[in-house]
Amino acid sequence: MAAKTKNNLLDIKLMLLRASRLHFVYVAVYISAIIVFDSWNLLTHEAVMDRWTLAAVLLIVTTITWYCSRLDINNKNVYHFLFWLLIITDIVFAALNVYWQRGMASKAVMLFGVPILSAALLKSRSLLLTTATLSAAAYSLAAVRYFHKYYGQGLRVELYGEVGFYVALFFVFAGLLIIGFRDSKS
């Protein structure tokens, strides 16, 4: 049986640095979408303010993780904490977008792929499954809260069918990524 390899400090630091750099692109694309939708009057002023605030929060967290990943800190726990900070921020970001885009009718469910893929960078099965579970909880909360706050925009069977389907997909994605972690000899 092959020995399990652990990420060393430099690997974790580089993964965090690269993940935070890609998050800058993520924020830029999100802000560009807000600008386009606002210029065509597809969003209300309140929706623009909410989404812009959310983008600013993601940008702040991304900047903090990027800056700290460039520091010479000889503690793995700091980098693990920063990964967690980025992942949890991504989950909240995705959940709020789902809620603001009509809950179960939202196309923003895809945003939950970002925290799941970010968690996969550390090649930790427990981190990946935890991220999938937190994503499932956040998505189901956003969809169910929207459904009951704006009752009558769909059927209950549709709500629970959509939630069940996407939650299952989060775990399918996590499972497929876990397969990629394994050594081909094991």
Within a domain: 171: yes
Q: Specify the pLDDT at position 154.
A: 79
Within a domain: 148: yes
Within a domain: 32: yes
What's the mean per-residue pLDDT of the chain? 93
Segment 150-160 mean pLDDT: 86
Q: Specify the pLDDT at position 5.
A: 47
The pTM is what? 0.92
Q: Specify the pLDDT at position 4.
A: 46
Within a domain: 23: yes
Owning domain of residue 120: 9-181
Within a domain: 65: yes
50 pLDDT higher than 90 = yes
Within a domain: 176: yes
Within a domain: 2: no
Within a domain: 110: yes
182 pLDDT higher than 50 = yes
User: DSSP letter string over the chain?
Assistant: -PPPPPP-HHHHHHHHHHHHHHHHHHHHHHHHHHHHHHHTT-S-HHHHHHHHHHHHHHHHHHHHHHHHHHS----HHHHHHHHHHHHHHHHHHHHHHHHHTTGGG-SGGGGGHHHHHHHHTTT-HHHHHHHHHHHHHHHHHHHHHHHHHTTTSS-HHHHHHHHHHHHHHHHHHHHHHHHHHS-TT-
Per the structure, the count of domains in the chain is 1
